[in-house]
């Protein structure tokens, strides 16, 4: 094999473990929090990108961070709940209540949804009320900061818990990285109880259902149709390996965040994009993005269920993987085509673009 | 793209194309490319000297729909090398459908053997064979045919009583007008035989091999009943697990199945994207082989209907094509994986290996 110029841009998700606070009894057992999770951050895993993101499987009921919420971050984020039925991208299989603002305004949803949290806005508790899919559901955080940083405002944090979270994590053990979360504790405490919850509509605009961007042009909005036709005029067509239904939300859909993301299930082998040209979709963007390939088997977060190849750089260096993987695409670095060589089990993919729009220029 | 070390090994079949417009100027029956109404509607003919890096091989691929003799007045004929004549159907859902009835005469006795299903006819070096007559065509698409001959220059001695040096010269001039090197070296035998098909005695029946006797893949599943333990081992080494892009239907003949020829050949239909073989990267063989990717549209012999990539060399240099193509794999040269990016229309693939066995060693 020739020298691998871009291999630092491909990261198996298992390079990152859960935050220290979620292990060793200081975490969230018997809560609604994750059964298994990976959390990658720009500082340690993503070549310095101002981004941290998570991917996890969830089946539990109840509060995700008992006693600790609400909390705030110095950066904005999008919190994305998705289902695990590859035949129905609009099915969540769970019912979630989420609080926003110091008012603890409760919002409840049972469809795949995104909650947009501006920097500094108190949010949570997040409470899983019900899980109706027998295999649970998934959840992703897209946070626009290189280092997960949280200030906890809950009135129920025990002194022992606070002390443990303030300690430097051990690190060093095989397969364990850290610290992954910089925690602090607010002097201002907010008590969460049935009496303090509110049910207004101040933050309705921050909770949005995920709407499929269908690959069937007849279902596109005029704007989406124009974008699709532009791509088609460049000679690009959807390949057999692409998603059946795809959700794509841009900054305009996310309260102006410098973020766009996709979510979709992929079931079939083949190239994702046909054309333009022989490269089948090699392109660049003016902003950074991360492509994340994940499995849909909650019993094994390290199982992808497919073998994928992707080209990186002008040289079309090809990388092949069959484990859940993040591909970092710095601005201006050509990438693609993506080709699914085989698919044993439907897998999922999400793109995190660090701009509100997703400008694309095909390069060869 | 980096320097292309192996590009001389990847050739579009069109380099061996016959200019049928020029051929039409010949005073020959309508529909015949050369000199018989049953002959090809369109054909490519590649030889080791001009196209295949000196391999001791020439082969064809063509579409046929005409009724009648293939070489009026010229047969029987002989070659100084052995060959296999492979008659195949164009129904990609059924490898055992030919859609035509063929009569071929074998031996100086001109024993006439007739078949109406896909068949290989093995012709030893020096054995008079033909006339070859398409008696009936039922398929609206006609049928396909390829020959695999163990000589690097097509060389024929015509024995028919209707052949003349003048006719040979006219054909060669026609080829020259098309700007192509004359592919066939033709001689006219002093000994002439009148066309006189005789009732078969069974003397040459062992040279007629129905494809269905060596099916190894049916409806995407392996059927290895006809293989020896050694061949099964070889098959497992070359392809531990079939990928989604592999054949829907495939027949495979080794030297032992071809009267001891130093040749292995296969024929298959492929309709799906994805990788051909899982669990193995590149492999090598101790003998030369060619991999032929052909389309199944009789209206356009230059249409493949799929986009395919294959790696060559230890460096895994990748080659991508969407036209009918032959890949020359000299002995010892690592090749594969084959990955199908997309398929618009089922295509055909055949392999011609210049060894009676098809020993395979995985290299990565």
- For residues B228 and A229, which has the higher predicted lDDT (pLDDT)? B228
Residues A237-271: pLDDT tens digits?
889 999 988 999 999 999 999 999 999 999 999 99
Say which residue the tokens 């000297």 belong to.
B49
Chain A residues touching residue B343 (CB < 8 angstroms): 240, 270
Residue of B nearest to A272 (CA): B341
CA A274 to chain centre: 26
Least-confidence region, from A55-59, A111-115, A205-209, A231-235: A231-235
- For residues A222 and B174, which has the higher predicted lDDT (pLDDT)? A222
CA B183 to chain centre: 16
Q: Do A342 and B337 touch (CB under 8 A)?
A: no
Q: Do A240 and B343 touch (CB under 8 A)?
A: yes
Round to whole Å and give the CA distance between A45 and A11. Answer: 8
Length of chain B: 364
Cα angle B63, B69, B72 (rounded to 5 degrees) comes to: 120
Round to whole Å and give the CA distance between B186 and B191. Answer: 15
Round to whole Å and give the CA distance between A242 and A343. Answer: 12
The pLDDT of residue A219 is above 70: no
pLDDT number for residue B169: 73
Please give, rounded to a whole number of angstroms, the shortest distance from the CA of A361 to a CA of chain B.
18
Residues B192-249: pLDDT tens digits?
999 999 999 999 999 999 999 999 898 888 888 777 888 787 777 767 789 999 999 9
Backbone angles phi, psi at A208, to 5 degrees: -135, 135
pLDDT number for residue A289: 98
From the number of C-beta atoms within 10 Å of its C-beta (0-12, 13-18, 19+), residue B12 rates as middle
Q: Which B-chain residues 223-282 have CB contacts (< 8 A) with chain A?
A: 243-245, 272-275, 278
Residue of A nearest to B321 (CA): A278
Q: For residues A94 and A132, is the Cβ–Cβ distance under 8 A? A: yes
Q: How confident is the model at residue A23 (pLDDT cuts 50, 70, 90)?
A: very low
The pLDDT of residue B26 is above 60: no
Chain A residues touching residue B315 (CB < 8 angstroms): 1-2
Q: Do A239 and B342 touch (CB under 8 A)?
A: yes
pLDDT number for residue A29: 66
Please give, rounded to a whole number of angstroms, the shortest distance from the CA of A78 to a CA of chain B.
34
Please give, rounded to a whole number of angstroms, the shortest distance from the CA of B201 to a CA of chain A.
51
Backbone angles phi, psi at B96, to 5 degrees: -95, 15
Say which residue the tokens 């002439």 belong to.
B192
Round to whole Å and give the CA distance between B243 and A308. Answer: 13
Length of chain A: 364
pLDDT number for residue A105: 98
Q: How confident is the model at residue A166 (pLDDT cuts 50, 70, 90)?
A: low
pLDDT number for residue A277: 75
Round to whole Å and give the CA distance between A240 and A269. Answer: 7
pLDDT number for residue B222: 85
- For residues B27 and A330, which has the higher predicted lDDT (pLDDT)? A330
Q: Which residues, including other chains, have CB under 8 Å from residue B360's CB and lie 6 or more apart?
A: B234, B237, B238, B283, B284, B285
Q: For residues A12 and A323, is the Cβ–Cβ distance under 8 A? A: yes
Q: CA A101, A104, A107, A112: dihedral to nearest 10 degrees?
A: 60
Please give, rounded to a whole number of angstroms, the shortest distance from the CA of A337 to a CA of chain B.
10
Round to whole Å and give the CA distance between B51 and B5. Answer: 17
Residues B301-316: pLDDT tens digits?
999 999 999 999 999 9
A239, A274, A316: residue with CB nearest B1: A316
Q: Between β-strands B274-275 and B335-343, what pairing exists: parallel, antiparallel or unpaired?
A: antiparallel
pLDDT number for residue B226: 75
Residue of A nearest to B244 (CA): A342
- pTM assigned to the model: 0.88
Q: How confident is the model at residue B19 (pLDDT cuts 50, 70, 90)?
A: low
A274, A278, A342: residue with CB nearest B342: A274
pLDDT number for residue B231: 77
Q: How many helices (H) and strands (E) does chain A have?
A: 2, 28
Backbone angles phi, psi at B231, to 5 degrees: -65, -35
pLDDT number for residue A10: 98
Round to whole Å and give the CA distance between A251 and B42. Answer: 55
pLDDT number for residue B3: 65
Please give, rounded to a whole number of angstroms, the shortest distance from the CA of B324 to a CA of chain A.
15
B278, B318, B342: residue with CB nearest A240: B342
Please tell me if residue B343 touches chain A, with a CB cutoff of 8 Å: yes
Q: Which value does ipTM take for this structure? A: 0.84
Q: Between β-strands A36-41 and A260-266, what pairing exists: parallel, antiparallel or unpaired?
A: unpaired
pLDDT number for residue A247: 93
Mutation for testing the B interface, residue in A304, A318, A341 having most B CBs under 10 Å: A341
Please tell me if residue B337 touches chain A, with a CB cutoff of 8 Å: yes
pLDDT number for residue A245: 85
Q: Which residues of B106-143 are buried (b: 16+ CB within 10 A; e: fewer)?
A: bbebbbbbebebbbbbbbbeebbbbbbbbeebeeebbb
Bridge partners of B348?
A: B269, B294
DSSP B82-127: -EEEEEE-S-TT-TT---EEEEEEETTTTEEEEE-S-EEEEE-TT-
Q: For residues B242 and B277, is the Cβ–Cβ distance under 8 A? A: yes
Mutation for testing the B interface, residue in A235, A269, A276, A340 having most B CBs under 10 Å: A269
- Give the mean model confidence (pLDDT) for residues B348-363: 94
Q: For residues B324 and B336, is the Cβ–Cβ distance under 8 A? A: no
Q: Do B318 and A269 touch (CB under 8 A)?
A: no
Residues B76-86: pLDDT tens digits?
999 999 999 99
Q: Which residues of B219-237 are buried (b: 16+ CB within 10 A; e: fewer)?
A: eeebeeebbeeebeebbee
Kindly report the average pLDDT of chain A as a whole number: 88
A270, A342, A343: residue with CB nearest B342: A270
Say which residue the tokens 């508790």 belong to.
A125
Round to whole Å and give the CA distance between A332 and B308. Answer: 27
pLDDT number for residue A255: 96
The two three-digit tokens of residue B79, written as one number? 């070659």
- Give the mean model confidence (pLDDT) for residues A323-332: 98
Please give, rounded to a whole number of angstroms, the shortest distance from the CA of B152 to a CA of chain A.
33
The pLDDT of residue A272 is above 80: yes
The pLDDT of residue B22 is above 70: no
Instruction: Give the residue numbers in A contacting B (CB under 8 Å), as ranges.
Output: 1-2, 239-241, 268-271, 274, 278, 280, 307, 309, 315-316, 318, 337, 339-343
Residues B107-166: pLDDT tens digits?
999 999 999 999 999 999 999 999 999 999 999 999 999 999 999 999 999 999 887 777
Q: How many CB atoms lie within 10 A of CB A107?
A: 18
Chain A residues touching residue B337 (CB < 8 angstroms): 341
Q: How confident is the model at residue A362 (pLDDT cuts 50, 70, 90)?
A: confident
In 3D space, the residue among B336, B315, B141 whose CA is nearest the CA of residue B245 turns out to be B336
Q: CA A233, A234, A239, A244: dihedral to nearest 10 degrees?
A: -60
Round to whole Å and give the CA distance between A234 and A237. Answer: 9
Round to whole Å and give the CA distance between B68 and B29. Answer: 10
- Give the mean model confidence (pLDDT) for residues B28-51: 77
- Give the mean model confidence (pLDDT) for residues B24-45: 68
The pLDDT of residue A162 is above 90: no
């Amino acid at each position: 094999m020739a020298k691998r110029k871009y291999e630092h841009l491909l990261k198996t998700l298992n390079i990152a473990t859960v935050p220290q606070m979620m292990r060793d009894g200081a975490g969230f057992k018997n809560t609604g929090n994750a059964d298994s999770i990976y959390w990658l951050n720009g500082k340690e895993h993503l070549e310095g990108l101002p981004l941290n993101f998570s991917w996890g499987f969830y089946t539990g009921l109840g509060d995700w961070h008992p006693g600790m919420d609400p909390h705030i971050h110095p950066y904005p984020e999008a919190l994305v709940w998705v289902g695990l039925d590859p035949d129905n991208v609009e099915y969540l299989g769970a019912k979630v209540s989420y609080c926003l603002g110091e008012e603890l305004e409760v919002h409840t949803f049972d469809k795949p949804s995104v909650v947009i949290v501006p920097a500094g806005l108190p949010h949570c508790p997040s409470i899983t009320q019900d899980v109706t899919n027998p295999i649970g559901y998934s959840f992703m955080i897209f946070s626009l900061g290189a280092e997960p940083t949280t200030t906890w405002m809950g009135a129920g944090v025990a002194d022992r818990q606070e002390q443990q979270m303030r300690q430097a994590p051990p690190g060093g053990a095989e397969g364990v990285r850290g610290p992954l979360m910089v925690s602090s504790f607010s002097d201002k405490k907010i008590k969460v109880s049935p009496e303090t919850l509110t049910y207004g509509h101040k933050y309705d605009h921050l909770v949005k259902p995920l709407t499929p961007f269908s690959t069937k042009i007849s279902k596109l909005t005029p704007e989406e149709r124009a974008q699709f036709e532009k791509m088609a005029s460049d000679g690009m067509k959807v390949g057999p390996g692409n998603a059946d239904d795809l959700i794509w939300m841009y900054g305009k859909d996310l309260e102006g965040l410098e973020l766009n993301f996709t979510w979709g299930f992929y079931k079939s082998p083949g190239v994702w994009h046909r054309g333009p040209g022989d490269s089948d979709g090699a392109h660049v963007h003016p902003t950074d993005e991360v492509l994340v390939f994940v499995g849909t088997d909650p019993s094994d977060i390290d199982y992808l269920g497919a073998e994928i190849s992707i080209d990186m750089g002008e040289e079309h260096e090809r990388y092949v993987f069959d484990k859940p993987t993040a591909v970092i695409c710095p601005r201006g670095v050509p990438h693609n085509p993506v080709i699914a060589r085989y698919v044993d089990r439907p897998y999922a993919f999400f793109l995190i673009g660090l701009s509100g729009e997703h400008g694309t220029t095909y390069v060869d | 793209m980096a320097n292309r070390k192996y590009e001389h090994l990847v050739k579009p079949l069109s380099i061996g194309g016959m200019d049928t417009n020029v051929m039409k100027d010949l005073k020959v029956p309508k529909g015949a490319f050369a000199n018989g109404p049953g002959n090809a509607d369109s054909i490519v003919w590649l030889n080791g000297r001009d196209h295949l890096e000196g391999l001791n091989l020439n082969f064809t691929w063509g579409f046929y729909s005409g009724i009648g003799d293939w070489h009026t007045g010229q047969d029987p004929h002989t070659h100084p090398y052995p060959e296999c004549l492979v008659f195949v159907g164009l129904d990609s859902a059924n490898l055992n459908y030919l859609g035509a009835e063929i009569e071929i005469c074998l031996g100086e006795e001109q024993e006439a053997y007739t078949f109406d299903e896909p068949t290989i006819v093995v012709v030893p070096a020096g054995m008079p064979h033909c006339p070859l007559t398409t008696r009936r065509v039922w398929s609206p698409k006609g049928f396909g045919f390829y020959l695999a001959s163990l000589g690097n220059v097509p060389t024929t001695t015509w024995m028919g009583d209707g052949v003349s040096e003048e006719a040979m010269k006219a054909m060669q001039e026609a080829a020259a007008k098309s700007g192509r090197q004359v592919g066939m070296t033709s001689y006219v035998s002093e000994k002439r035989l009148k066309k006189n098909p005789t009732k078969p005695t069974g003397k040459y029946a062992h040279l007629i091999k129905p494809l269905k006797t060596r099916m190894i893949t049916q409806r995407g599943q392996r059927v290895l009943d006809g293989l020896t333990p050694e061949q099964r081992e070889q098959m497992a080494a070359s392809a531990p697990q079939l990928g989604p892009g592999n054949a829907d239907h495939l027949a495979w003949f080794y030297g032992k199945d071809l009267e001891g020829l130093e040749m292995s050949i296969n024929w298959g239909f492929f309709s799906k994207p994805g990788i051909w073989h899982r669990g193995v990267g590149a492999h090598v063989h101790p003998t030369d082989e060619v991999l032929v990717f052909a389309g199944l549209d009789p209206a356009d012999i230059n249409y493949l209907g799929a986009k395919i990539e294959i790696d060559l060399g230890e460096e895994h240099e990748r080659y991508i094509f969407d036209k009918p193509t032959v890949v020359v794999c000299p002995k010892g040269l690592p090749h594969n994986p084959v990955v199908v990016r997309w398929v618009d229309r089922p295509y055909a693939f055949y392999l011609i290996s210049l060894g009676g066995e098809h020993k395979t060693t995985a290299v990565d």
